[in-house]
Structure 1
């Protein structure tokens, strides 16, 4: 308030009597008018103090009169304080009528400018008047409010109440329309005075007077008269804009625009709006910009998938994630797309039939998984529901594809073969990191296998052969793979695999002990004539090894060698029996009759081939009948073993080209030539491999029956009685981590257990447990 400037009009005289309401009000009204209408000049300090004193004198004089002449305490102060309060109230009404009459002459930005100017002037004056009438506030107003009068306010709040009732109701629509037009200009790219909107917001907030406590404000006025129309106008603006834009532009371009518009609205809030508007405002923008056009965007999703438009898919994901259930159709389409891509990828390699390369098959599975797992992370932020869709799709195409159409066990079988190739010494993985990467790829596919028991059987067989034949690329890699399987499927799943490793280590220790024993019991001559041999003792319950399919009479030199070991082992472990697995044994024979640069060739052979070739030490010509008689081999084993040696031209048939049969004889080929000094003749026999696969399948079926039966017994033991259908469902739940059981198979197992008197049938389709 300026001290230097003089009042615009001379003041009336100060009241001569302290009780003179008319004289007091004339003097006060002049002072209030100076404050309300002439803020720039205002009143000087001396005059201001005179005004303040006159209010004080008037109120205190009336208090004294009230105590002398009236029966009710302070009644006089009540009556005369009320008179002063009401005269100020009437003055404010008249003042605002003039302001309103001037305001209606303005429109748009001029209206906002005038509204804000008058609001600031009025509220500033209200603050000064509140201080001027402080004595009235402290005494009369306070007593009235304490007594629960709802229509009495402190002087500053009275100013706000008068503005709300005399100005706001008739101007707020015009003010709000001007605000909305201003904001629309900004949305259209024009620069605006944002402070104008901010001032209007603050004025609406200030008018939210709490009826229960006039000293507090609420947001009811702001919400009803600013927030609601602002949101409605925003929604309508974006409805119109989005429809127009989509009619002329692509969905991808629209998504970019929608994304930009949402960011703009979010950034606009802290500039001139209340933070409370953020949630409803964004919700309305999302409805107009996204929800109303969600169907169009979802229809575009398949095109984006087909063309690997990762960035656009990420944009669509972020937009549709903003609305309720916006992503569900996308997840379904993504799942179907990945499943189709996986099936198509497998189809490309499936035509090779039985000769299908396991690596090609697994690569076909992984190619699709890797592509879309990367997409889920980059475009869909690794969201759990999209991960679930990916998992569902991969589970489908890995377990139900063209390769396993006739045999559901083909996928796990092929994966086990691939793992075998990875872990064999011939693998191309030279670095440890490469090996670990390849093992992780195996585990990626393994995670989706439904028939994990099939993989376990075939994997344990290939592991057994790698360990027995010493063809593992790395013991660390083998251990790492078993550890991964253990983490994925539990201790029980890998228990036998770990025991196989223990047997190999025990066998190494045993061979060392045998060599020491041999050095003590044999003289130098005996050792010189013996065969250099290595033995592996494999526990019957842990190794998935089939017994030989043929009879066999080992050559005397082999008999002599293994009998020595047998004597040693029997002395060390008295109660154990050794069973020789001749079909898994192998060795090396030096061909002194055929040399490469004066160095004899070395043949790597099976024990059966060794027995055949040792017969040529006694004669250059051996008949087929003698081979059958001396080796004791069956024709199904002898013929393929001869076939490999014939193909390699180690021996020749007489007559030439004769098939293995009675009357055929075989000669050593003294003219044998080969580029390698070591020649491998120990090839797998296809008929034996086929038989092994069939035997494994039978074993799997038997194991599954036992697993289902044990699960049923466990369930019934804990429940005692159970409905048939519930028992079937619970059994499926318990065994599905190992394989996908068929309902008829479970019912057969229940019938078997009833026959064995583990279970009994009760009334109402219930089953009971028999202890």
Structure 2
């Protein structure tokens, strides 16, 4: 036996794993042939039993003895050589041999397979040892390598491992492990890879290949835990593709968004879908604007015929929803447009303002495009006028259509004069266009140092300095008629990526705090470990939560001044320290429970806020909350308190640091704190309200005060205090101003406002169950829905001709304008024709959509 093992070891070392597995297969076949020649008995069962015993003995000596070597070295060589036919055949033979030996050897094969995948994948995603250029070069092909690796593994499992489900699970677990070792980078690179495919797919692949590619990318996306990083980068890239016309197919873009919606839910793609709706709305808006211009031109004695040829501009505007597009007004470069271009923008603003009352447009020139018809001389002649948007001036036979950005067009228009050999220095270009020096340098570099050089720089170099001068390139030649000049954006891209990552980190901290507040709102009291587990489980679909971030979020919530608008909700540890830290409640103590305080009683509220009991003092004092188990110390600071005065809400006058007429020194302006009794909002936004203008701040305070009074009617019913509070003038102008103020509030911090609105909707949903039992409270509910629908804080409006409910949830027939709908208290989106729901409730007193027990028909 020892001699036989030595011979087999020699075969393994000389022939390698493929040769050894082939040797085992041949030995087993020879044993079967030898058995059939020698052992022949009439009893077939005995023959089979004897043959199995012989084969088991051979397999044990040939396979089990060398199994560790085969799994450690042989399997790796075969997997790396796949899809070589010899390696594929050997892997299939190896798997069949192990399955004959039972489950333990196969389990060891799965474990070795998983270890190899993790090791190979970790090498693919690890950082390069060189500098930033080497790392960027290596990262550029990471997604392609991962897709090829995943395709190879699927081929191994399907072709060699008999589609073993446990093998597929091993692949999934291994990919989730090594892809998330580098945290956010793979998710960012997946988004960039998708951006590349979306821009070039239709030119290099057919429809089937594109769909296969998208499916492969989605598989990698599922493995990544940093889905918020992917979302942010994908949203930015999608915005650039849509606005700069870089997408190869709009249908392909919509298809990808639908795939992401199916994968992650509608909340993940809500802003992406808004982008497409904005484009459709802008198309309709441009058609309406052109028709208005046509009517005005006809009534003004054909003003276009009197205009100068160079002043004629064809304007196309894309109106974007500020909260859905990843553009920042702070980073938008300022620019001075020529008078004839500014006139067209002002005319469109006037048209838009008449169509949408109260809305304000902010122009993003860095995202605009201009098509210039340029005339270039053939024999160094002078330039003359040409037709359409903005043009070079030259009488020539060579015409080119230049597609440039708005900033590039402003620079080129400076050379649109009749002067020969016009030369403009760098500082003059900066002054006359109004752009900053950094943007000007990148713009001039793209026009004078790139592939398409319509300007000539003196002195010649690849970099632009402040002492350079530029002239029009009269010797420009290009065989194409349509030429696109791209902006230089390499350095800017690095800054954009850094700012995107910083934004995601900030949003993560906010989401963790919001998750803690939501959990404590329902649990009231919890220990640290269960709270930590629930936070991690709730956010794992978006990103990987770090325990340190959760501890920091709890500390921030404990130390933060919780305002009355947020129900005075506070998180605190009774012993003062988080588990795992030194001191009481730390390593030497047990886990301290986390307590959430309920809404204070009215007596306590008046004690905490002297302004509520009519005193002039506005200093918050220390007070004990009756409903909770923690003593809260509020900082001594001045408070600007909004209060009711008669039927309307009046904010106190802004104080000033200058002495008053009586010689008394006024109190300086301090942070705003809103105190409402029933408004169930958990996300404080007082600091955002302070940043609004005085008029908008007054409208927002008045609006939330009215909402608070209506909420009080839903809770306690109509009283003398809350019944007249929502009576104030309504009209198109007032409603437009309130809507604009709320939109400005949302634009200051879209993420926090989104969660503020979601909490408001959640608590409104809870109150519907109580309000539907009383007729007077049902009336208050209609008023509340009307007020919330005014600013789009609620998607469901009351039952009037202008409601937002599209069709009955049972018969799917749209509501006529003059009919009403029945909304069940289980969910605001479950609404029906009265006759439809009455028939249903007569049969079963349950909601036909969610099967929740509801009221009897007469209550509706």
Alignment check: 8 A CA contact 1:589 1:603 kept: yes
Aligned to 2:271: 496
Task: Name the structure 1 match of 2:316.
Answer: 534
Task: Provide the secondary structure at the position in 1 that maps to 2:414.
Answer: helix
- Per the alignment, residue 484 of structure 1 pairs with 259
- Contact persistence 1:588–1:605 (CA under 8 A): yes
Change (3 A) 1:242 1:514: farther
- 1:458 is displaced (CA, Å) by 0.5
* Conservation of the 8 A alpha-carbon contact between 1:341 and 1:368: no
The match for 1:669 among 453, 470, 473 is 473
Deviation at 1:711, TM superposition (A): 2.1
Alpha-carbon deviation of 1:456? 1.0
Q: How does 1:486-525 map to 2 (within 5 A)?
A: 486-523=261-298, 524-525=302-303
Within the candidate set 294, 297, 306, 2:67 is matched to 297
Taking a change above 3 Å as real, the CA distance of residues 264 and 371 of structure 1, as seen in their structure-2 partners, is farther
Q: Could you tell me which residue of structure 1 aligns to residue 93 of structure 2? A: 315
Q: 1:591 — aligned with what?
A: 374
TM-score normalized with structure 1 length: 0.61
How far apart are residue 418 of structure 1 and its match? Answer: 1.2
Shift of 1:423: 0.5
Alignment of 1:93-172 (within 5 A): none
Contact conserved, 1:255 with 1:316, CA < 8 A, in 2? Answer: no
What is the match of residue 325 of structure 2?
Answer: 543
The one of 434, 439, 442 aligned to 2:214: 439
2:438 is aligned with 1:636 = yes
Q: After the TM superposition, which of the residue ranges 454-463 and 669-678 deviates more from structure 2?
A: 669-678
Per-residue displacement from partner, 1:421-443 (whole Å, max 9, x unpaired)? 10115754341112112212221
Separation in structure 2 between the aligned mates of residue 260 and residue 515 of structure 1, nearest angstrom: 88
Whole-Å separation in 2 of the counterparts to 1:733 and 1:436: 32
**Equivalent residue for 2:556?**
752
Contact residue 256 and residue 315 of structure 1 kept, 8 A:
no
Relative distance call for 1:270 and 1:418 in structure 2 (3 A) is farther
Distance 1:682 1:240, change over 3 A: closer
What is the aligned partner in structure 1 of residue 114 from structure 2? 335
* 2:604 aligned with 1:770: no
* Deviations 1:537-588 (CA, angstroms, capped at 9, x unpaired): 1111111122334322222122111112111111111121111111111112
Residue of structure 2 in register with 1:761 after alignment: 573
CA contact (8 A) 1:350 1:356 kept: no
The alpha-carbon distance between structure 1 residues 731 and 658, as it changes in their structure 2 partners (threshold 3 A), is closer
SS in 1 for 2:104: coil
Please give the secondary structure, in 2, of the residue aligned with 1:694: helix
Indicate yes or no: 2:383 matched with 1:556: no
CA shift at 1:660, angstroms?
A: 5.1
Secondary structure of the corresponding residue to residue 590 of structure 1? strand
Match for 2:399 among 600, 609, 618? 600
More helix by share: 1
* Alpha-carbon RMSD: 3.6
Question: In structure 2, what is the Cα distance between the partners aligned to 1:258 and 1:645?
Answer: 75
Relative to structure 1, is the Cα distance of residues 289 and 712 closer, same or farther in structure 2, using a 3 angstrom cutoff?
A: farther
Partner secondary structure for residue 321 of structure 2:
coil
Larger radius of gyration: 1
Query: For residue 726 of structure 1, what is the aligned residue in structure 2?
Result: 530
Partners in 1 of 2:41 and 2:448 — Cα distance? 89
Question: Secondary structure at 1:683's aligned position in 2?
Answer: coil
Distance 1:572 1:311, change over 3 A: same
Distance 1:608-1:289 versus aligned 2 partners, 3 A rule: same
> Which residue of structure 1 aligns with residue 163 of structure 2?
382
The DSSP-based 3-state class of the residue aligned with 1:534 is coil
For residues 41-80 of structure 1, the aligned pairs below 5 Å read none
Q: Which residue, out of 399, 413, 428, partners 1:614?
A: 413
In structure 1, C-alpha distance between the alignment counterparts of 2:281 and 2:129, rounded to whole Å: 43
Distance 1:579 1:724, change over 3 A: same
Q: Is the 1:338–1:368 Cα contact (8 Å) retained in structure 2?
A: no
**C-alpha separation in 1, matches of 2:108 and 2:315:** 66
Counterpart in the other structure of 2:541: 737
Deviations 1:157-198 (A, max 9, x none): xxxxxxxxxxxxxxxxxxxxxxxxxxxxxxxxxxxxxxxxxx
Contact (CA 8 Å) 1:507, 1:535: kept in 2 or not? yes
Does residue 567 in structure 1 map to residue 350 in structure 2?
Answer: yes
CA distance in 2: counterparts of 1:686 and 1:514, whole angstroms:
37
* Match status 1:451 vs 2:226: yes
Change (3 A) 1:661 1:493: same
Q: 1:541 to 1:286 in 2, by over 3 A?
A: farther
User: 8 Å contact 2:332–2:365 — kept in the other structure?
Assistant: no
Give, in angstroms, the shift of residue 444 of structure 1. Answer: 2.5
- Equivalent-residue separation in structure 2 for 1:540 and 1:336 (angstroms): 47
Structure 1 unpaired stretches of 5+: 1-238
Alignment of 1:209-358 (within 5 A): 251-252=20-21, 253-255=23-25, 257-258=27-28, 272=43, 288=57, 293-301=63-71, 302-307=73-78, 308=81, 309-322=87-100, 323-345=102-124, 353=134, 355-356=136-137
SS at match of 1:538: coil
Deviation at 1:452, TM superposition (A): 1.5
1:366 and 2:165 correspond: no
Moved more, 615-624 or 729-738: 615-624
SS in structure 2 at match of 1:498: helix
- Is the alpha carbon distance of 1:242 and 1:452 closer, same or farther for their aligned partners in structure 2, counting shifts above 3 Å? farther
Q: Which stretch of the first structure deviates more once superposed, 335-344 or 596-605? A: 596-605
Tell me the distance in 2 between the aligned counterparts of 1:642 and 1:500.
Answer: 31
Please name the residue that 1:717 is paired with: 521
Matches of 2:144 and 2:33, distance apart in 1:
43
Q: Secondary structure at the match of 2:475?
A: coil
**Residue deviations 1:254-307 (CA, integer Å, cap 9, x gap):** 3565589799999x99994679x99x9999788645567535234213414313
Secondary structure of residue in 1 paired with 2:141: helix
Query: How big is the shift at 1:360?
Result: 2.4
Alpha-carbon offset, residue 646 of structure 1: 1.5
* Structure 2 contact 376–476 (Cα < 8 Å) conserved: no
> Would you say the 8 A contact 1:304–1:312 is kept in 2?
no
- Between stretches 521-530 and 604-613, larger displacement belongs to 521-530
| Match of residue 633 from structure 2 | none
- Tell me, yes or no, if structure 1 residue 473 matches structure 2 residue 300: no
- Residue 398 of structure 1 is matched in structure 2 by 179
Change (3 A) 1:282 1:376: farther
Structure-1 residue corresponding to 2:489: 685
Give the paired residue count.
524
